[in-house]
Amino acid sequence: MLNKIPMDWQNIHTVFLDMDGTLLDLHYDNHFWLDYVPKCYAEKHQLKPEETKDLLASRYGKIQGTLNWYCLDHWSEQLGLDIPALKQDVAERIKIRTNVKPFLEFLQQQNKHIILLTNAHPKTVAIKFQHVAIEKYFDKIITSHDIGMAKEEDGFWDKLQQGLDFKCENSLFIDDSLSVLRAAQRHNIAHLLAIHQPDSQQQAIDTEEFTALECFRQLF
């Protein structure tokens, strides 16, 4: 039995929710970028798969945390692969996390302003929504590509607030990335939660200074 995480729902008006690793299992994304893309790249260039994994990991790391890191068009151009098409190849691995839908229904019943706030490229979002029926729950869907900055970059929340009416003291943000949560923390978002195990096929992560959410039932 998991412990309930006390939330001041009366004073939370806006709920920002990350997608990959938060609402959806991160296993799909990790498998895609760390296994499937290297496999396809190796086949195209007649390379050994393990060499390709190291090569691509190095290229990923050079721009990690920037907008291009999340951009499918960037990687299609850089790797000479049709990344959106490859994403569809392994789309059966796209899975919603346990009790996400009941949680979203609870937020709707409580008349919260529900916003999907993701670094995922718009094409990725579209692919995910073809396989998981959660789009209808959001009042607004915002990608970092709409803002022009990745969520972990300083200035992201300032730009977000220019186009969106919300108060930091009345906002909850749930994300699986500690660097993203720390950027929100620097902007004084009052309520922050991390994810205990973003990828169901990997070990739980140390969420350090943030409360770790194991199951969305802990919130309602």
Q: Using one digit for the tens of pLDDT, what is the confidence trace for 202-215?
A: 999 999 999 999 99
pLDDT at residue number 202:
96
Domain spans in the chain, listed from the N-terminal domain onward = 9-26+95-219, 28-92
Check whether 217 has a pLDDT greater than 90: yes
Cα distance between residue 49 and residue 53, in whole Å: 6
Check whether 115 has a pLDDT greater than 90: yes
For residue 158, with 0-12 CB atoms within 10 Å meaning exposed, 13-18 middle and 19 or more buried, which class applies?
exposed
DSSP state for residue 36 in the 8-state scheme: I
Place of tokens 């998981």: 132
Place 180 in a pLDDT band, splitting at 50, 70 and 90.
Answer: very high
Residue 172 has φ and ψ, to the nearest 5°, of -115, 135
Query: Superfamily for 9-26+95-219?
Result: HAD superfamily/HAD-like (3.40.50.1000)
Cα distance between residue 177 and residue 103, in whole Å: 20
CB 176 within 8 A of CB 195: yes
